[in-house]
């Protein structure tokens, strides 16, 4: 929320976004103009970016059940051939995919930034292990 207040005990005006100082102006009219322009811009915060990423991941989450089943079948196939190292990696990724499925569930309330960080970490671990 943008608000205009006197800047300390001076004759200047300050525009704050929550607790963050955005600008100090000489005239209140200048502070109002900056406030008007900032309010007219689209929301471009980290939270908005995280929410957009979550939406994309939620759409991708619809594909997860089929991916999980395919991976499970591959794991069983690898087990029969005795490929233990590959089996371990695929098993880890299968577990991480289950975690990812839980993270992209929109019914679980979580801070969007925290959710995005957890998803990114999981995907990085999956990429590093493969």
- Go through 62-72 and write b for each residue having 16 or more CB atoms within 10 A of its CB, e for each that does not: eebeeeeeebe
pLDDT tens string 100-118: 777 777 677 777 777 777 8
Question: What are the residues facing 127 on neighbouring strands?
Answer: none
Per-residue pLDDT, averaged over 21-47, amounts to 83
Angle 104-79-65 from CA coordinates, rounded to 5°: 20
pTM higher than 0.75: no
89 close to 71: Cβ distance less than 8 angstroms: no
Q: Is the pLDDT of residue 59 over 70?
A: no
pLDDT in tens, 69-86: 777 777 777 666 656 666
The pLDDT score that the predictor gives to residue 111 is: 76
Q: What's the N-to-C CA distance of the chain in angstroms?
A: 45
């Amino acid at each position: 929320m943008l608000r205009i207040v006197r800047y300390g005990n001076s004759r200047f005006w300050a525009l704050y976004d929550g607790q963050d100082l955005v600008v100090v102006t000489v005239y209140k009219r200048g502070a109002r103009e900056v406030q008007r322009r900032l309010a007219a811009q689209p929301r471009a915060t980290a939270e908005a970016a995280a929410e957009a990423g979550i939406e994309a991941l939620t759409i991708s989450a619809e594909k997860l059940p089929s991916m999980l089943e395919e991976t499970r079948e591959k794991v069983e196939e690898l087990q029969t051939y005795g490929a233990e190292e590959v089996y371990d990696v695929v098993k880890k990724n299968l577990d991480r995919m289950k975690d990812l499925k839980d993270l992209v569930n929109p019914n679980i309330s979580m801070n969007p930034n925290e959710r995005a960080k957890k998803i990114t970490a999981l995907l990085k671990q999956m990429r590093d292990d493969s």
